[in-house]
Amino acid sequence: MSTVFIPTVLRPSVGGNKQVELGGESVGDLVTALVEQYPSLRPQLLTDDGDLNRFVNVYVNGQDVRYLDGLKTPVGERDEVRLLPAMAGG
């Protein structure tokens, strides 16, 4: 199982959870499992075509998946996946 960390703005869509444990072999698997479990997350994470929205960054163990293999980036046991939206507050 991998741990997916949910940012504050998305927590209302996942029952207030700060992190969710999910199984899967790639970032795409985890995102799919996540939006199946919490359908209201889908438009916030994915485009209509199923790609990651450009305003949400996804990191696996601190590395941006845009510079790894995107949704195909493999994940293993105990990997930490972090969803990170931009914030503007100052």
Partner 1 sequence: MPKTYADLLREARSQIREVTPQDVGALPDGDAAIIDVREASEWEQGHLPGAVHISKSYVEQQIEAAVPDRDAPVVLYCAGGVRSLFAAQTLQQLGYSNVASMSGGFQAWKSAGLPWEAPVILSAEQKQRYSRHLLIPEVGAAGQTRLLESKALLIGAGGLGSPAALYLAAAGVGTIGIVDFDVVDLSNLQRQILHTNERIGERKVESARRSIEALNPDVKVVTHEEMLLADNVERIIHGYDVIIDGTDTFETRYLLNDAAVAKNIPVIHASVFRFEGQLTTFVPYEGPCYRCLYPTPPPPELAPGCSVAGVLGVVPGIMGMLQANEALKVLLGIGDTLAGRLLLFDALDSTFTELKLRRDPACPVCSTEAAAARAAGRPLPIPSFAAASAGATSEPFVLGSQA
Residues near partner 1 (CB under 8 A): 7-10, 44, 47, 53-57, 59, 62-64, 67, 82, 84-90
Listed in sequence order, the residues at least 6 apart from 40 whose beta carbon sits closer than 8 Å to its beta carbon are 13
Q: Give the count of alpha carbons within 13 A of 14, CB side only.
A: 25
CB of 17 to partner 1, least distance (A): 14
> Is the CB of 23 or the CB of 67 nearer to partner 1?
67
CB of 1 to partner 1, least distance (A): 20
> Is the CB of 30 or the CB of 45 nearer to partner 1?
45
> Is the CB of 77 or the CB of 86 nearer to partner 1?
86
CB of 80 to partner 1, least distance (A): 9
The burial class, CB within 10 Å (0-12 / 13-18 / 19+), for 5 is middle
Structure tokens at 84: 């990170």
Distance CA 46, CA 30 (A): 13
